[in-house]
A and B are shown apart, each in its own frame.
Chain A
Amino acid sequence: MSTGEFVFEDGIISATCEKAGDRLLVKIGEREYLFQPIGENLFSTNVNGAACIIGVVEDGGTYFVDIDSVLLEVTEPSEDGFAGGAGSLAGEKDKVFAPMPGKIVKVLVGVGDEVAVRQSMAIVEAMKMENVIVSRAAGRVKAVNFAPGDQVDTESPIIELELGE
């Protein structure tokens, strides 16, 4: 069984998940949700007696969920080694960090650029794998603190944004 915390809009929700046969049982508070994996990124579940196919994928620290074509996003508040996350600094949406120490391969935006949420910002290579770091907010690029070839850690922001449209 695993426990996790998730952020939806501005609230944090705690959930536990355990295997129940070939299905997954998720508990949030008193409520239970049963998911049947039916394919890559696809679960079947029952909502008010009707079958519902849910698509879900994690990318850049955000879970993209499609519930009968309604699109929602859920994020994890704590760092877990995946691209785009930022440990205890997760609250700072206006800064872009590397998920693990590595080397900047490419910076995809410049100072003054308007960026959208989830736009690709930089590519960081770590452990022979490339990670595309995405923005967690929309705004204008205020500062680009590193250049290709630089080594980065997880604490120093690679790119800083001025938030807002």
Chain B
Amino acid sequence: MDKLFKKILVANRSEIAIRVMNACRTLGIPSVAVYSDADAKSRHRLPADESVHIGPSPPRESYLDIEKIIAAAKQAGCDAIHPGYGFLAENPAFAGRCAEEKITFIGPSPDAIALLGNKVASRTKMAGAGIPLIPGMKGTETDLDVYRKAAETAGYPVIIKAAAGGGGKGMRIVHDAEGLADAVDAARREAKNAFDDDTVYLEKYIVNPRHIEFQIMADHHGNTVHVFERECSIQRRHQKIIEETPSTALDNDTRARMGADAVRVAQAAGYTNAGTVEFLFDQSGHYYFLEMNTRIQVEHPVTEMVTGVDLVIEQIRIAAGLPLSDHFRNLSQRGHAIECRVYAEDGEDNFMPSTGRIACYREPTGPGIRVDSGVTAGTEVTIDYDPIMAKLIAHAPTRELAIRKMIDALHNYKILGVKTSKKFMVDVLSHPEFASGRTYTDFIERNMVDRKLDMGQFKELAVAAAAAASSFGNRRSPTSVTDSGAGRTSVWRSVGSWQVGDLIHE
């Protein structure tokens, strides 16, 4: 096939940068990586054809610096930029700058990003499009009486939310009329601090919902489809940990209705490229539009595993002006896929962020096992960025088999040198409530709070393993990134300094 773009700059890092570069390579398009000081030896530089240093480690001075990214793209001669997720992916100013520089932004238009990034504006828009919304205010108000009336109509408990943000900031749950005034004030203050915008609004607070989202893909020729749902209810402090598809909560009829509504949401927003429509699904089976995310999402692999499509390749094709690929019509879900996000957090110690050097790294393999990783042996895990190290995905013909496959894969995934959340996820997957499909957003609070691991029971086995390793000669002096555990007598250690591309190995 003809090259769709001359060169694509991937404005991101870690596993998603690698994911995008893999798609570029499949399409025969050269890719350019960007890296900060902390990422000089990161794994995501390796699959790129070139890499450009964009500044010091803090995101503000590197991955979030619009002008540096644009400059890097121009310097390298790129005619397109893929923003990944996070960082500048949902920044309308960035998408606008790309347009100004005649660089194709692989994603939706700046207007769609701006509309859907504002919770109040998108609620108002979707109300007009007849999409089921969480009962509450359609727009923002400053008059407290309006809040009171809205709360009474929706029924307590209610939640005050910030128009400009998410992640729990600018949010207050209110259980009765007495707490309303204070909550609105507090939410406004927090929103102003976090997002420099104190616009808030009120919605009914849905207790223990399920979080079900639909993948959207839309081209520039008027074709918009959904690629089914993902269930993302296993969350900790608004951070997703485990996702799966299909959702155990949906029958075919509900799925079809939600899918159709998701498409209508995208069309109402004039949406193009990949996006995700989020719904809250309450205990009585009603669903409500929550928001639309205007980027490729972390959990996109589970969708790819059950439908067989490649969402990132399609993103690039759509951005190049091609119509939706034929295989995106007549989609069906086959089997069941689960994703576990492997974080550098100690799942046995309140998820304390863990740093350190990965001394040993082995990925699990096998039919239906996929690993999207941003780390490898030798990677220094620091606290500069999001602690996500890798995603582990398992696909099997049934949900039960997918769960078993995932547990086994987690055990076989050996990442030594930092603490991870692996054991925690094994325990979630092994829990009878998970097996029965009762996955609500309070799953972790409800089922995982009293777990306490008695490390003492493994003490001798761990010492025995250390003794065996010591005797077997598994020791190695920690040296460079390229030392993949081959031991003291490895021929690579006698090679000295060497270079591949523009990445120097010492």
Pick from B355, B460, B474, B477 the residue with the most CB of A within 10 Å: B477
Verify A60–B478 contact, CB threshold 8 A.
yes
Q: Which residue of B lies closest to A117 (CB)?
A: B356
Verify B479–A130 contact, CB threshold 8 A.
yes
The stretch of A69-77, A89-97, A141-149, A150-158 in contact with B is A69-77
Verify A41–B416 contact, CB threshold 8 A.
yes
Say which residue of B348, B359, B486 sits within 8 Å of A57 (CB atoms): B359
Instruction: For chain B, residues 45 to 87, give those with C-beta under 8 angstroms from any C-beta of chain A.
Output: none
Say which residue of B422, B455, B469 sits within 8 Å of A41 (CB atoms): B469
Verify B380–A53 contact, CB threshold 8 A.
no
Verify B469–A57 contact, CB threshold 8 A.
yes
The stretch of B241-249, B311-319, B407-415, B438-446 in contact with A is B407-415
A4 CA to B469 CA in the complex, in Å?
11
Q: Shortest beta-carbon distance, B391 to chain A, in Å? A: 16
Chain A residues in 8 Å Cβ range of B455: 9, 70, 72
Say which residue of B356, B420, B466, B475 sits within 8 Å of A118 (CB atoms): B356
Chain B residues in 8 Å Cβ range of A60: 357, 359, 478
A26 CA to B360 CA in the complex, in Å?
22
Verify B466–A131 contact, CB threshold 8 A.
no
* A1-38 contact mask (Cβ, 8 Å, vs B): 1 or 0: 01010101101010111000000101010010101010
* B486-506 contact mask (Cβ, 8 Å, vs A): 1 or 0: 100000010000000000001
B contact residues, total (Cβ < 8 Å): 50
Instruction: For chain B, residues 265 to 317, give those with C-beta under 8 angstroms from any C-beta of chain A.
Output: none
A-side binding surface: helix, strand, loop or mixed?
Answer: strand
Asked if B398 is at the interface of the complex by the 8 Å CB criterion, the answer is: no
A36 CA to B247 CA in the complex, in Å?
40
Verify B461–A47 contact, CB threshold 8 A.
yes
A61 CA to B463 CA in the complex, in Å?
14
Q: Evaluate whether A58 and B470 lie within 8 angstroms (CB atoms) in the complex, with A40-B485, A64-B417 already known.
A: yes
Q: Evaluate whether A76 and B479 lie within 8 angstroms (CB atoms) in the complex, with A57-B485, A69-B426 already known.
A: no
Say which residue of B348, B412, B417, B465 sits within 8 Å of A67 (CB atoms): B465
Chain A residues in 8 Å Cβ range of B1: none
Verify B360–A41 contact, CB threshold 8 A.
yes
Verify A116–B355 contact, CB threshold 8 A.
yes
Asked if B210 is at the interface of the complex by the 8 Å CB criterion, the answer is: no
Pick from A26, A42, A117 the residue with the most CB of B within 10 Å: A26
Q: Evaluate whether A13 and B472 lie within 8 angstroms (CB atoms) in the complex, with A40-B485, A41-B414, A59-B478 already known.
A: no
Q: Evaluate whether A39 and B460 lie within 8 angstroms (CB atoms) in the complex, with A63-B466, A71-B423 already known.
A: no
Chain B residues in 8 Å Cβ range of A17: 467-468, 470-471
A33 CA to B460 CA in the complex, in Å?
9
Asked if B452 is at the interface of the complex by the 8 Å CB criterion, the answer is: no
Asked if A56 is at the interface of the complex by the 8 Å CB criterion, the answer is: yes
Verify B419–A59 contact, CB threshold 8 A.
no
Q: Which residue of B lies closest to A32 (CB)?
A: B464
Q: List 21 A-B contacts (CB under 8 A).
A: A4-B467, A6-B467, A28-B463, A33-B464, A40-B474, A41-B360, A47-B461, A56-B469, A63-B462, A64-B416, A67-B458, A67-B462, A69-B410, A69-B411, A70-B458, A71-B416, A76-B466, A83-B478, A99-B477, A116-B354, A120-B380
